[in-house]
Amino acid sequence: MSEASSSSIKERDARPATARSTGTETRPNTAGSVLSDPFSTPVSSRAPSILQHPASPSSSRVSFPDSNIGIAPRRSILSQSGFGSPAFSSAVSNASRLSAAALVASPAPAPTSAVPKSKMPRMKSHMLAEGTEVPKPWKEGKNPRAAFSYWIVYFIILIGIAGGAVQCYFTWKNVQLDRHPLCLVLDEEFNDEASVFGPNGTFFREVNMDGFGNGEFEMTTDSRNNSYVQDGMLYIVPTLTEDNIGHNAVFDGTVYNITGCTFNITRPDNGYIIQDGQRVFDWASYLRSCSAVSNSTAGTVINPVQSARITTQKSASIKYGRVEIKAKMPNGYFDPRSFPDVLCLCSWLCLCVPATMWPAIWMLPRDSVYGQWPLSGEIDIVESRGNGLRYTAHGSNYVQGSLNWGPAPQLNGYSKSYSWWEDRRKSFGSDFHTYVLEWTPDFLRISVDTRLHTLLDMKFNIPFFKRGNFPDVINNGSSLVALQNPWINGTNATPFDQEFYLIMNVAVGSTNGWFPEGQGNKPWLDQARNPPHDFAAAASQWYPTWPTNVHDRAMIVDYVKMWTHC
């Protein structure tokens, strides 16, 4: 290093080490300064203790101890590489001293003036004033009204629980049960058609065309088209007559004699009646039962539908006991894919025409001890309609149980002995249900699936003649006569105290009021001149509501069981 350079450095060392400032801010040394140590820590990142150290008042210079006193010289890579020469070390030492002196001489920042805190108002005291008496209601005497109102609540709750228990007890006690020993009379599971419909079969097919006293529009046949056994089930299926004889033959120019007519088998006394004091064969009833003539001029038709009616008249009957049938009722609905030309689609905007099917499982007296219907009674275990759920007079989601009885044909006490069960969401044709009759000398109960779903529950606690509240005189067709009690020598159960046999059938239409007038676009009037003709002529309206699937159209029976009191 030259003497001029050494002299210049000494002069700078002799000047006071004052920091240049712009305004009040001190410019910090940076690594880019000529005189700063390139290996020193920047000012902005040094510890606060260094920045806040006050400058000495006596001198603007900071003296550093000689680095050679008491410290062994350190040989480093710099000294080995030529950077450890005396001239280089002196320059670095002087630069470090200048940088430190500038930091110490920097003025400290002015303290920030403190902001006085606002004085919060003191919260309101809730202490009681001195001398105030503190109320202590628990030391006072009890209010009798408060005690009464407290205990009366628990007393009423106790009374409610006790009343409910008493009601449950008497309800349970009043449920009558058949405690008589039962003997099995019939157990048919439909495994073999020959054992069902054979010569000595369980069921007998009735063949008839006279409407069975209800003005029904079907004829019942012994054909396998209408009743058969398949896969352990009994099927009763209604079909169209025109499928066998043609459409035109149903309406005109045909005399139809039904094959295998059973009139002289099913009628009392084999079809004989007493007329003018003599026993004669009832030919008029026989012709109505076994034949029909279609004539377009007269408006007569051959029964437009064929179906089946099967009974246990020849095989099984009971007087008191239990009957159990598991069956699925027929459904009625509309399939537009099968009838694209029909405009009515059975939606919620259109009710369509009813399906008109009338499935029934019921019982009639074997011997008619008290006279012809309804004097000897009738037990309807279940009746339904094959109409859809939207039918306005109870469709296939409705099942009914009833008793028919009366002292004369025009006096039927049915209205005082019927009830029903209804499912608001689904049809009784969508699945199998178990229908049960419990029958004793004291009561008769009909239920579906469980005793809680009761179709009819009748106690035989008063005589039926008194129950009917019948008039004293009636018109016998020619004059007024006094009404006689046909059950005067019977019991409270009479006429339901004799042998009854089982019947299962699917009827179609009627004129007895089972399908009410003005409901569901009914295509005939009960009091019209020829209701069967009107019904047959409207086949294009009601037939689309019949399911094309036999499983849905048929009444299907899984099993039938009958027990009698031993």
User: pLDDT tens digits, residue range 336-388?
Assistant: 444 444 444 443 334 455 668 999 999 999 999 999 999 999 999 999 998 87
Q: Are strands 233-236 and 555-565 parallel, antiparallel or unpaired?
A: antiparallel
| DSSP string over 398-458 | EEEEEEE--SBTTB-GGGGSEEEEE-SSS-TTSS-EEEEEEE-SSEEEEEESEEEEEEEEE
Q: Choose among 342, 324, 333, 329: nearest CA to 391.
A: 333
Per-residue pLDDT band at 290 (split at 50, 70, 90): very high
Per-residue pLDDT band at 113 (split at 50, 70, 90): low
Cβ–Cβ < 8 Å for 317, 500: yes
Residue 38: its pLDDT value, please? 52
Measuring CA to CA, how many Å separate 184 from each of 188, 192, 195, 217? Answer: 11, 20, 18, 36
19 or 155: whose pLDDT is higher?
A: 155
Q: Are strands 218-220 and 305-307 parallel, antiparallel or unpaired?
A: parallel
**pTM of the entire structure?**
0.71
Q: Choose among 50, 161, 527, 552: nearest CA to 328.
A: 552
Per-residue pLDDT band at 111 (split at 50, 70, 90): low
239-245, long-range: CB within 8 Å, 24+ apart, which pairs? Answer: 239/305, 239/306, 239/307, 240/304, 240/305, 240/306, 240/539, 240/543, 241/302, 241/303, 241/304, 241/305, 241/306, 242/304, 244/306, 245/302
1 or 548: whose pLDDT is higher?
A: 548
Whole-number Å distance between alpha carbons of 225 and 264: 24
Residue 159: its pLDDT value, please? 96
435 or 68: whose pLDDT is higher?
A: 435
Which residues neighbour 308 within 8 Å (Cβ) at sequence distance 6 or greater? 205, 220, 221, 222, 223, 226, 227, 236, 237, 505, 506
CB atoms near residue 414 (< 10 Å): 15
Whole-number Å distance between alpha carbons of 79 and 85: 7
Cα first-last separation, the chain: 143
CATH code of the domain made up of 182-238+304-565: 2.60.120.200
Cβ–Cβ < 8 Å for 168, 175: no
Residue 333: its pLDDT value, please? 62
Per-residue pLDDT band at 125 (split at 50, 70, 90): confident
Quick: pLDDT tens for 1-45.
Answer: 444 444 444 444 444 444 444 444 444 444 444 444 555 555 544
Structure tokens at 26: 């001190």
Residue 112: its pLDDT value, please? 53
What Rg, from alpha-carbon coordinates, does the chain have?
55
Helix ranges restricted to H, 175-269: 193-197, 242-245, 247-251, 263-266
Quick: pLDDT tens for 428-469.
Answer: 999 999 999 999 999 999 999 999 999 999 999 999 999 999
Q: Choose among 168, 305, 148: nearest CA to 239.
A: 305
Residue 256 has pLDDT above 50, yes or no: yes
Per-residue pLDDT band at 119 (split at 50, 70, 90): confident
Choice among 50-64, 117-131, 320-334 with the minimum mean pLDDT: 50-64
Structure tokens at 431: 């699945």
CB atoms near residue 533 (< 10 Å): 22
Cβ–Cβ < 8 Å for 331, 388: yes
Whole-number Å distance between alpha carbons of 354 and 346: 10
Measuring CA to CA, how many Å separate 339 from each of 99, 346, 540, 545? Answer: 108, 12, 9, 10
Residue 477: its pLDDT value, please? 79
Per-residue pLDDT band at 136 (split at 50, 70, 90): confident
Instruction: Please state the domain extents for the chain.
Output: 144-173, 182-238+304-565
Per-residue pLDDT band at 120 (split at 50, 70, 90): confident
